Copies of this chain bind each other. A is one copy, B any other.
């Protein structure tokens, strides 16, 4: 059996309220996750702050990521990846409203 990054998407229109988080691999020290965004962004003044490092890539769609220690946002399109160290505060400024944005996140350490 082969699993596919693009298959088994939850049904629902692009205006669906919540993002989807789905574990693809959970092992000691590493967790690989698929995230599907449909236009969501972090609420104002909300910052993610995680005890694990996170390497993240946009597979489809587009998004803007903001890291606390950077002046501007990083606009990410398909293939773009960023390493976010543990405890580096970050937020999602926007995600594509015209198509699903698929993220691959590798949490480690």
Q: Which positions in A face B, CB cutoff 8 Å?
A: 2-7, 24-25, 27-30, 32, 53, 55, 57, 59, 74-83, 104, 106, 108-109
Give 18 A-B contacts (CB < 8 Å), ordered by A residue.
A2-B80, A3-B81, A3-B82, A4-B77, A5-B80, A6-B78, A6-B79, A24-B55, A25-B55, A25-B83, A25-B106, A27-B53, A29-B29, A29-B30, A32-B106, A57-B104, A59-B79, A106-B106
How many protomers of this protein does the assembly include? 2
Which of these, B4, B74, B82, contacts A79 with CB under 8 Å?
B4
Is the CB–CB distance between B2 and A76 below 8 Å?
yes
Distance between A106 CB and nearest chain B CB, rounded to angstroms: 6
